[in-house]
Amino acid sequence: MTVCVRVQQEDFDVGAEVTALREGDGRVGAVAVFVGMVRDVSEETNIVAMTLEHYPGMTEKSLIRIIEEAQRRFAILGATVIHRVGTLRPLDQIVLIAVKSEHRGEAFDACRFIIDYLKTEAPFWKQEVTPDGTRWVNARVSDDAARSRWES
């Protein structure tokens, strides 16, 4: 099982990360990838920038625990999770989830499981910069619903 977790300010190269994840591993028949981006509009307000804060020390542990839980539930061979922090602008990449497995079903399921859990468990907070000032993003009920899908 290959596990790679990074919290960083720098951007990431999706192609390079997928290559690194599956490099030399002939068992891998599928890699599923999710990339989250900053949108330029949120709740009908223009977004100038977004600042992402996290809880150093807890964040990495939380991400590793989520991947381990995905591994317990799905037959996956490895996963990479990269989450950016600091100031980002519209169109910037925020998060990468890449999962490798023998067949596509497990990779797709585990990828979705990891992002759904990340959104409700990993200690990150977004603050939006709008033309009228800054505001903290509120947690979404739909994110809790997405997560609870996995609990039935």
Q: Among 15, 57, 131, 133, which residue sits at the site for another protein (rule: CB under 8 A)?
A: 57
What CA–CA distance (Å, rounded) separates 8 from 50? 15
**CA 12, chain centre distance (Å):** 12
Counting residues that bind another protein (by CB under 8 A) gives 29
Taking CB under 8 A as the rule, which mask of x and - marks residues 14-53 in contact with another protein? ----------------------x---------------xx
Closest CA to 116 of 94, 137, 147, 149: 147
Element housing 6 (H / E): strand 2-8
Q: Which of residues 82-101 bind another protein (CB under 8 A)?
A: 83, 94-95
Q: Are strands 41-42 and 45-46 parallel, antiparallel or unpaired?
A: antiparallel
Structure tokens that stand for 91 in this block: 């169109």
Taking CB under 8 A as the rule, which mask of x and - marks residues 111-130 in contact with another protein? ----x--xxxxxxxxxx---
User: What does the binding site for another protein look like in residue numbers (CB under 8 A)?
Assistant: 36, 52-55, 57-58, 61-62, 83, 94-95, 115, 118-127, 136-140, 143
